[in-house]
């Protein structure tokens, strides 16, 4: 199994754990006389087994990713930076942003314009894409 396949399997296991946990929370207590659709005892066993599998798989993925940890961390930070930039206020000119100042309009200026901000985000997204391409090759070629 390569890393790409392992990541898909990891996501499947995480979903199965989540689904079983929701069933456990929902069907542990039922009204007397009502049929219990799932056994909480069985669900707990399934969750424990799936969790052990998840721990083993994640450990294998992490060991296989040692050579590319720096790229993974870099991509994560670039994504955080792009997300933060996207939230940056670039308002310029007259604005009614301050709803508590009804008597006058605000005149705003920004040091970084919305176009400059958008270009900065586009640049980060390009860098992220290049890193993702490298990671895709690593994930497809590296067996665990």
Contact 9, 1 (CB under 8 A): yes
For residue 124, the tally of other CB atoms under 10 A from its CB is 19
Residue 97 has pLDDT above 80, yes or no: no
Share of the chain above pLDDT 90, in %: 88
For residue 75, the tally of other CB atoms under 10 A from its CB is 19
Are 31 and 89 part of one and the same domain?
no
Are 55 and 82 part of one and the same domain?
no
Helix, strand, coil share of the chain (percent; to 5): 70, 5, 25
Can you give the residue range of the structural domain that contains 3?
1-64
User: What is the DSSP secondary structure assignment for residue 32, as one 8-state letter?
Assistant: T
Are 38 and 22 part of one and the same domain?
yes
Q: Into how many domains does the chain fold?
A: 2
Are 12 and 80 part of one and the same domain?
no
| pLDDT value, residue 101 | 62
């Amino acid at each position: 199994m390569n890393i790409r396949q392992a990541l898909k399997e990891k996501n499947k296991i995480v979903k199965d754990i989540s689904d079983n946990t929701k069933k456990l929370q929902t069907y542990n207590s039922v009204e007397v006389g009502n049929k219990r659709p799932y056994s909480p005892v069985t669900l707990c066993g399934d969750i424990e087994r799936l969790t052990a599998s998840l721990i083993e798989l994640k450990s294998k993925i992490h060991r296989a990713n040692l050579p590319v940890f720096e790229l993974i961390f870099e991509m994560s930070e670039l994504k955080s930076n792009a997300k933060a930039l996207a939230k940056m206020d670039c308002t310029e000119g007259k604005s009614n942003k301050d709803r508590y100042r009804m008597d006058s309009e605000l005149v705003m200026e920004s040091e970084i314009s919305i176009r400059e901000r958008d270009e900065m985000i586009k640049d980060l997204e390009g860098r992220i894409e290049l890193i993702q391409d490298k990671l895709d090759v690593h994930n497809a070629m590296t067996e665990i």
